[in-house]
Amino acid sequence: MYERIILANFGRKQNSIQKQHFSCRTFHIRASACRLRVKRIEHRLDSLATDRPTLVFLHEGLGCIELWRDFPETLCQVTGCSGLVYDRKGYGGSEKFEEPWPLDYLEKESLIYLPELLKECNIDHAVLIGHSDGGTIALITAAIHGNVVCGIITEAAHIFVEELTIAGIRKAVEAFETTPLNKKLARYHKENTETIFYRWASRWLSPEFLSWNIEEYLPKITCPILVLQGEDDEYGTSAQIQGIVDRVSGPAHSKLIPDCGHVPHFQAKNAVLSEMKQFISTIIT
């Protein structure tokens, strides 16, 4: 399934959206001694957006700015919020990750790079929207830096490792080695493609990662949270969303989306937009 999702996402052209009230610009910024590629989605009428949170989009384990396609702009349009999308260190157009991939790579992103990026971009009122690895990063960040996070939306986030997760990643490795997935990813990660893929896959498949678990962070989350997951997610069961909802301290709403796999914002775009818009509206008001 994963290879079909990726190939479909790369193969489609970006959908055009109405941008009469928004402008987009992509640039590099230094945060935590790292050069990161950032995309800002900004409301042209600043007075309409100053009292609204900034939507911060956190990509999945093989992702980058482009892999979100037009979803961030569309969600900003329907909510009236400005947005921020970025390539994490080692991905897309950001600085290479030269060091060994740490066991706690998700925690490091949450506690070091993302908070510093928000600071450099003058964002102190954020809704974190994270897909897969990005969802996990959103959870940890909100637990430790709740002063700048007013809401969280996760899609297919993981809080522990399941057998289904391991099986799904093994299938992704097979697809990377036997299908055009490698070349498709290379359009965006270029010469770093194999490093990014095997670094991600090897970490999740390593014996020492089987005990990885972030449940200890969840009770520290006090802001509202929307937890989304496809019923047919190839990488996680409903135990993931139930574990999140049961442990966070703030108001939580979850939804299992029917006929949907690991990428709800593409596979069930209209339903996801509706859920996210409604959730964000409760934060704005």
pLDDT tens digit sequence for 110-142: 999 999 999 999 999 999 999 999 999 999 999
For 21-159+218-280, CATH number out of 3.40.1160.10, 3.40.50.620, 2.120.10.30, 3.40.50.1820 equals 3.40.50.1820
pTM of the full structure: 0.92
pLDDT tens digit sequence for 52-108: 999 999 999 999 999 999 999 999 999 999 999 999 999 999 999 888 889 999 999
Per-residue 3-state assignment (H helix, E strand, C coil) for the chain = CHHHHHHHHHHCCCCCCCCCCEEEEEEEEEECCEEEEEEEEEECCHHHHCCCCEEEEECCCCCCCHHHCCHHHHHHHHHCCCEEEECCCCCCCCCCCCCCCCCCHHHHHHHHHHHHHHHHCCCCCEEEEEECHHHHHHHHHHHHCCCCEEEEEEECCCCECCHHHHHHHHHHHHHHHHCCHHHHHHHHHHHHHHHHHHHHHHHHHCHHHCCCECHHHHHHCCCCEEEEEECCCCCCCHHHHHHHHHHCCCCEEEEEECCCCCCHHHHCHHHHHHHHHHHHHHHHC
